[in-house]
Amino acid sequence: MVQGSLGTYFEMVLGEADPALFSRKFIKALLDEQLRGYNNAKRLFALTMFELWRRHYKVNVPGH
């Protein structure tokens, strides 16, 4: 879990992302590392914005 409301939002959005597009294991690792002091904020922000863009424009993974 990432600290703060923004971290909670990242977790919520990325936790609901299509697993065919986002590796749950990789996302969890980024979130866990962020808690341990690594700076993954830019990566998490970019992935969250991509997921929100994908949802807004209804872009789906081919074959799913």
Decide if 26 is inside a domain: yes
Count how many domains the chain has. Answer: 1
Q: Is residue 61 part of a domain?
A: no
pLDDT of residue 6 exceeding 90? no
Report whether 51 contacts 17 (CB < 8 A): yes
Residue 62 counted as domain residue: no
61 pLDDT band, cuts 50/70/90, is confident
Q: What range defines the domain where residue 44 resides?
A: 4-56
Q: Enter the pTM of the model.
A: 0.88
Is the pLDDT confidence value at 19 over 70?
yes
Residue 1: pLDDT over 60: no
Containing 46, the helix (H) or strand (E) segment is helix 41-56
Distances 5 to 14, 16, 47, 54, 60 between C-alpha atoms, Å? 14, 17, 17, 22, 28
